[in-house]
Amino acid sequence: MYTMSLFSYNRWIYRYFREVISLIATLILLMDRHIILFNQSTHLLRICLLVLFN
């Protein structure tokens, strides 16, 4: 039972990492093509992080 839950947990982690890797790849493509847009989005991300962690 424990190994089964561990296996499903590992599968969930694998799926999550695959999503994150595809997101990073998309961001790299955006950075290549639209550097200004990428800079604006990172600026917005920094503002959101500042708001969240204050």
- For 2-54, write each residue's pLDDT tens digit: 666 777 878 888 888 889 988 888 877 776 666 666 667 778 888 878 888 86
CA distance 50 to 53: 5
Confidence at 1, pLDDT banded by 50, 70, 90: low
Alpha-carbon torsion, ordered 47, 50, 53, 54, to 10 deg: -130
pTM for the predicted model, two decimal places: 0.41
Q: What is the DSSP letter of 1?
A: -
Q: Please, are residues 38 and 30 in contact by the beta-carbon 8 Å criterion?
A: yes
**Which structural domain, as residue segments, surrounds residue 18?**
2-52
Q: How many domains does the chain have?
A: 1
Q: Please, are residues 31 and 38 in contact by the beta-carbon 8 Å criterion?
A: yes
Q: What is the DSSP letter of 18?
A: H
